[in-house]
Structure 1
C-alpha cells in the first residue's frame, strides 16, 4: 500500500495545483477560449496540458498543507490573478462590441439584433460583425500566443504566494474607461458622417414641411450608414493594431512582464 506524507502532498499541491488554478482561471475568463463556444471540458484539458508543459520551467513553489487555510488563500489568489488577466483581455474585445452598438444605434440598426453565442445575450448585428472581425484578427496575428507568453512569464514576475498589490486593482479600474474611449475612437468618423446626414434631413424638413421625413430619412440613413461602415473598414486594420498593442501592453503591466 502506498503511503503519502503531508509533505509530499503539499509539494504536489504547490508545484501543480496552484499554477493550474491560475492557468484555468485565465482560460475560463479570457475571450475566444473562455466563451460558451468552447466546452468546459476542453478548457479544462487545455489548462492541464499547459500546466504540464510549464511545470519544468516554473520557479520553486511554496510548500503548503493541502487542507490548511493558507492553501485556500493561495488558491483564491491564483484564481484572482487569472481572472484579472482574462478580464483585461475582455476589455479589448468589448471595445469593438461597444463600437458596433454605438454605430448601430446611430444608423437605425439598433433593432436588428442577434444572439451572441459567446456571451449568450442579444447584440446588434454590426456589433457582432465587429466582434467576429476582431476575433479573427486576434487569432491570425497570434495574439493568443502572446497571452500564453505573458501567462508563463507571470509565474516569475508574480510568483505564487506573493500578494497582489493595490495598484493592480487601481490600474484595472482605470482601464474600464478606456473601453468607451477606444469604442468612440473606432466609430467617431461614422458618427460624425451620420450626424451630418441627420442635420441635412433636418434642413430638408424645415425647407419642405410637407415632406414625410420619416419615410425617406430612415431608409436613406440605413443605406448611408452601411456605406460609411463599409468605407471605414479600409482603416480597421490600423486601428486594430493600435488598440491591440495597448491591450497587450496593459496585460503585461498587469503581470509585471517585460
Structure 2
C-alpha cells in the first residue's frame, strides 16, 4: 500500500501552486490568452498544462508553509509578476490599436464604432481591423512561443520567494506605456499628415467658394485618400510590426532583469 505523508503532499502542492499563480497572472493579463472570447476553463487548463511541463525543471521552492501569511504573500507576488509580464505584451499590441484611432479620426470614421467585448468599450472599425491583423502577425512571428520562453526563464531570473524586487522596474513599466502614443503616432503619421493637409486645403477652398461645402467634398475626399493611403501603409506594416514585437520582447527581458535588481 502506497502511503503519502503530509510533507510529501505539501511539497507537491507548493511545487505546483506557486508557478501556477505566475502563469495564471500572465494568462489573465496577456492580450492573446486573456481575450474574453477564450473560455475560463480553457485558460485554467492551459495554465495547468504549462505548470505541469515547467514544474520539474524549476529551481527549488522556498521552505515556506503554504497555509501561512508568507505563503499568501508569495501567491500575491507571483500573480503580480505574471500580470506585469502580460501587461507588457498588452501595451505592445495595443499600440496598433491607437494607430487606428488616430487614422480613423482624420478619415472621418469616428462615428463607425461598435462594442468590443474584450475591452468593454466602443472601438473604431479601423482600430479593430488593425488590432486583429497585429494579433495574427504576432502568432505568425511565433511571438507567443517567445513569451512562453521568457516566462520559463523568468523562474531563473526571479526565483519564487526571492522577496526582494527593485521598485524601479515598475516605474519602467509605467514609462513603457508611452509606447502606445509614440509608436502609434509614428505609424499613423504619414496618413495623418496627408489628411491634415487635405482638410486644410478644403478649409481654404470652403472660405473662397462657400457653395463647395465640406459635407459634399470633404468627407468623400478624406475617405478616398485615406483608403488609398491605407493600402500603401499595409505594404510596410509587417516590418513595423516586426520591430514593434522585438521592442516589446526586449523590454520584457529588460523588465525581468531590472525587477531582479
- Which residue of structure 1 lines up, in the alignment, with residue 102 of structure 2? 102
Describe the SS at the equivalent of 2:60: coil
- Which residue of structure 2 lines up, in the alignment, with residue 69 of structure 1? 69
CA contact (8 A) 1:30 1:89 kept: yes
- Which residue of structure 1 lines up, in the alignment, with residue 187 of structure 2? 186
CA contact (8 A) 1:22 1:78 kept: yes
Kindly tell me the number of residue pairs found equivalent between the two proteins: 256
1:198 aligned onto 2:199: yes
* Structure 2 CA distance for aligned equivalents of residues 135 and 197 of structure 1: 32
* Structure 1 CA distance for aligned equivalents of residues 193 and 205 of structure 2: 19
- Which residue of structure 2 lines up, in the alignment, with residue 242 of structure 1? 243
Give, in angstroms, the shift of residue 108 of structure 1.
0.3
Give, in angstroms, the shift of residue 178 of structure 1.
1.6
* Structure 1 CA distance for aligned equivalents of residues 54 and 93 of structure 2: 27
* Structure 1 CA distance for aligned equivalents of residues 69 and 3 of structure 2: 26
Give, in angstroms, the shift of residue 239 of structure 1.
0.8
- Which residue of structure 2 lines up, in the alignment, with residue 134 of structure 1? 134
Describe the SS at the equivalent of 2:84: helix
- Which residue of structure 1 lines up, in the alignment, with residue 218 of structure 2? 217
Give, in angstroms, the shift of residue 200 of structure 1.
1.3
- Which residue of structure 1 lines up, in the alignment, with residue 252 of structure 2? 251
Give, in angstroms, the shift of residue 3 of structure 1.
6.3
Q: Which moved more, 1:118-127 or 1:186-195?
A: 118-127
Give, in angstroms, the shift of residue 170 of structure 1.
1.0
Q: TM-score of the superposition, structure 1-length normalised?
A: 0.95
- Which residue of structure 2 lines up, in the alignment, with residue 31 of structure 1? 31
- Which residue of structure 1 lines up, in the alignment, with residue 124 of structure 2? 124
Give, in angstroms, the shift of residue 13 of structure 1.
3.5
1:141-156 counterparts in 2 under 5 A? 141-156=141-156
* Structure 1 CA distance for aligned equivalents of residues 93 and 116 of structure 2: 13
Gaps of 5+ in 1: none
Give, in angstroms, the shift of residue 120 of structure 1.
3.3
Give, in angstroms, the shift of residue 202 of structure 1.
1.6
* Structure 2 CA distance for aligned equivalents of residues 119 and 226 of structure 1: 26
* Structure 2 CA distance for aligned equivalents of residues 66 and 213 of structure 1: 68
- Structure 1 residues 12-37: Cα deviation after superposition (integer angstroms, max 9, x where no partner): 33311000100111011101111111
* Structure 2 CA distance for aligned equivalents of residues 117 and 233 of structure 1: 26
- Structure 1 residues 88-144: Cα deviation after superposition (integer angstroms, max 9, x where no partner): 100011111111011101110011012224323220000000100000000011000
